[in-house]
Amino acid sequence: MLMLASLPCLNSQPLTLSTTQPPFLKAGDRVALLSPSYASSLGEVDSTANVLRDWGLVPVIGPNVGKVFAGKYAGTIAERVADLRWALNDTTIKAIICNRGGYGTIHYINAISLEEWGAHPKWLVGFSDITTLHGLLTRAGVMSIHGTMGLFLAKGGTDSSSTLMRDLILGTVPRYEVAPHPQNIEGHATGVLVGGNLCTFAPNLGTQADALQGEDFILFIEEVEESMHNVDRQFYMLALNGVFGAKGRCKGVVLGDFTDCGNEFTFESIEAMLRQYLLPLGIPLLCGFPAGHDAVNLPLVMGAPVTLDVRNDGATLQFGIDGRQQEVKVE
């Protein structure tokens, strides 16, 4: 059996994570559409804006959206930072929806202070490379939403991932009832939800985007197009940095999708491989939660207090935040 339990904790004193819930949106609220990583076409952005109008919201496209730098990035680092700073500080902007992920948020982790990230709490929505921004917001004391982005909303916004995200930013909070998974580890835990795309947040260890420096958290992980050995490497990096240390900072783990990832070892799956590490720790593990890079990407409130209950007959993931509660069955 693979082991993590004996690895030393190399981090300094853990932080106490305390986050503010941004106000839910209402009809007529202004929502910024930004491209913090790779570029999106203006046609896609316009289609996303039309979906937001259908929802009763007012889309506002970032000043630098549509620019392309080095063939991929949505503008230079300075241009992407300028759009983020504008949207964060404009108090008439009530939420930020990212147009897409890709790569590039690591470039400006230190460009905006945590004080500025947290000065005007508002919902930020995205996933994949946007994981860095979730870490920054959690460290700044603001909740955010790991969920579908403009690239997918542009297709019409009527799929379950989009409508659940819409309902969430408007005040209806999902309570997930998840079907059993053969690699689950039963148990009950509470903590602050952190994480996201593994190969995005693992390199952020030790920076101001590192929400894994906190105490008492539930770790969510998803990945796309990575070899099994690189998933193992990134996960082991977390262990070497004390994420699974003897003090029990990580109270539970939720594994999302591992889309188009490799299987070069003889483990049944990536979930089975990671379960071998987690089993000796005595913490619950929920596998197969549909969030990440697959067709269904259910919204998660990052930085929020959550309760994870994994049982023989299934699991429950519940957010301890204000709002109308909606039970969502996940098969």
Q: How confident is the model at residue 50 (pLDDT cuts 50, 70, 90)?
A: very high
The per-residue pLDDT of the chain, averaged, comes to: 95
Mean pLDDT of 288-294: 98
% of the chain surpassing 90 pLDDT: 91
Residue 42 burial (10 A CB sphere; 0-12, 13-18, 19+): exposed
pLDDT at 62: 98
Q: How confident is the model at residue 2 (pLDDT cuts 50, 70, 90)?
A: low
Q: Are residues 72 and 111 in the same domain?
A: yes
pLDDT at 127: 98
Total count of domains within the chain = 2
DSSP-derived 3-state class of residue 200? helix
Q: Are residues 137 and 234 in the same domain?
A: no
Kindly report, residue by residue over 136-163, the tens digit of the pLDDT: 999 999 999 999 999 999 999 999 999 9
pLDDT at 18: 81
Q: Residue 109 is part of a domain; what is its CATH number?
A: 3.40.50.10740
Q: Are residues 194 and 324 in the same domain?
A: yes
DSSP-derived 3-state class of residue 264? coil
Output the pTM of the full model: 0.95
pLDDT at 88: 98
% of the chain surpassing 70 pLDDT: 95
Query: Which domain range does residue 255 map to?
Result: 175-330
Whether 316 shows a pLDDT value over 80: the answer reads yes
Q: Are residues 119 and 210 in the same domain?
A: no
Q: Between vectors from CA 55 to CA 50 and to CA 59, what angle results, nearest 5°?
A: 50
Kindly report, residue by residue over 160-204, the tens digit of the pLDDT: 999 999 999 999 999 999 999 999 999 999 999 999 999 999 999
Q: Residue 326 is part of a domain; what is its CATH number?
A: 3.50.30.60
Q: Are residues 248 and 143 in the same domain?
A: no
Domain final position from 172, 203, 238: 172
Q: How confident is the model at residue 228 (pLDDT cuts 50, 70, 90)?
A: very high
Whether 61 shows a pLDDT value over 60: the answer reads yes
290: left (phi over 0), alpha (psi -120 to 50) or beta: beta
In a domain, 5, yes or no: no
In a domain, 44, yes or no: yes
Element (H, E) at 88: helix 77-89
In a domain, 251, yes or no: yes
Q: Are residues 313 and 183 in the same domain?
A: yes
Q: Are residues 181 and 163 in the same domain?
A: no
